[in-house]
C-alpha cells in the first residue's frame, strides 16, 4: 500500500504526544511527532505531507473519546495515529481515588475510537502500544500495563490495522543493564525515548505503506 501524495497525518494521545506543541509556533511539539514529521518531509520531498499534533497532557482514553470528533475526525485525516494508555495505568497508582479506567473499559472505548475513524473517514489507522511505567521491567506499573498493551495488540489484529510495537521495543532496551535513559520520570520521554518511539513508528509505517 503506497503512501498518498497528499497525506494528512493526525497524531492523537496524551502528554507524550503533546510534548510542547502549545509552545511550538508550528504546533508540532518537540517529541516523537516532530521526529516523524521531519523524517517524512526529508524522505519524501515530492509529497505534500501535513502533520498535525493533537496530544493533550494527562489524557486517559475517556478524555480522548470526548474530543475525538473535534480533534481527529473533523480534520479529515489520511492517517490517524493513536497513542493512549499510560495514564489509564498511572492514575491507578498516583490518584487511586479517581474513577479508574480498568482494562475492560479501556477496550470498550478503544473499539469506539476505531469504529469512529472507520465509519466517518477513509483514514488508515495506526495504533501505538503504551510504552512503559518506570524503567524497571518488574515495576508494578509495568505489570498493570500488560493487559492494556495486549488490548492494543488484539485490536490491531481484529481490525487489520497497523500496530507500532513500542512496548516491546522499550522493554527490549531496558532489559539491557547499560541501557540509555529513555524517560525523565519513568513515563515522559527524554529525546532518546522520543527517538525510539519515532524509529519504531517509522519502521512499521515503511513496512506497511511503502
For residues 71-91, give the mean pLDDT. 98
Instruction: Using the predicted structure, report yes or no on whether residue 173 has a pLDDT greater than 70.
Output: yes
For residue 197, which of 130, 150, 148 has the smallest C-alpha distance?
130
Residues with Cβ within 8 Å of 134's Cβ and at least 6 positions away in sequence, in order, are 141, 142, 186, 187
Residues with Cβ within 8 Å of 173's Cβ and at least 6 positions away in sequence, in order, are 179, 180, 182, 196
Helix (H) or strand (E) holding 146: helix 140-159
For residue 60, which of 130, 132, 140 has the smallest C-alpha distance?
130
**pTM of model > 0.95:** yes
- pLDDT tens, position by position, 116-139: 999 999 999 999 999 999 999 999
Average pLDDT, the chain: 97
pLDDT for position 4: 78
Amino acid at each position: 500500500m503506497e503512501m498518498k501524495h497528499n497525506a494528512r497525518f493526525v497524531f492523537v494521545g496524551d502528554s507524550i504526544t503533546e510534548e510542547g506543541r502549545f509552545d511550538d509556533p508550528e504546533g508540532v511539539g518537540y517529541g516523537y511527532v516532530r521526529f516523524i514529521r521531519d523524517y517524512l518531509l526529508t524522505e519524501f520531498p515530492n509529497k505534500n505531507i501535513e502533520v498535525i499534533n493533537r496530544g493533550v497532557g494527562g489524557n486517559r482514553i475517556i478524555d480522548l473519546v470526548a474530543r475525538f470528533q473535534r480533534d481527529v475526525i473533523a480534520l479529515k485525516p489520511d492517517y490517524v495515529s493513536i497513542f493512549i494508555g499510560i495514564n489509564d495505568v498511572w492514575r491507578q497508582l498516583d490518584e487511586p481515588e479517581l474513577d479508574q479506567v480498568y482494562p475492560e473499559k479501556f477496550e470498550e472505548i478503544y473499539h469506539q475510537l476505531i469504529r469512529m475513524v472507520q465509519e466517518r473517514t477513509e483514514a488508515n489507522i495506526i495504533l501505538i502500544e503504551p510504552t512503559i511505567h518506570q524503567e524497571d521491567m518488574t515495576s508494578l506499573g509495568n505489570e498493570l500495563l500488560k493487559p492494556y498493551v495486549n488490548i492494543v495488540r488484539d485490536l490491531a489484529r481484529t481490525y487489520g490495522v497497523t500496530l507500532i510495537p513500542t512496548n516491546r521495543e522499550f522493554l527490549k532496551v531496558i532489559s539491557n543493564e547499560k541501557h540509555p535513559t529513555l524517560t525523565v520520570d519513568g513515563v515522559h520521554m527524554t529525546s532518546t525515548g522520543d527517538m525510539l518511539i519515532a524509529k519504531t513508528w517509522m519502521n512499521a509505517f515503511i513496512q506497511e505503506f511503502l
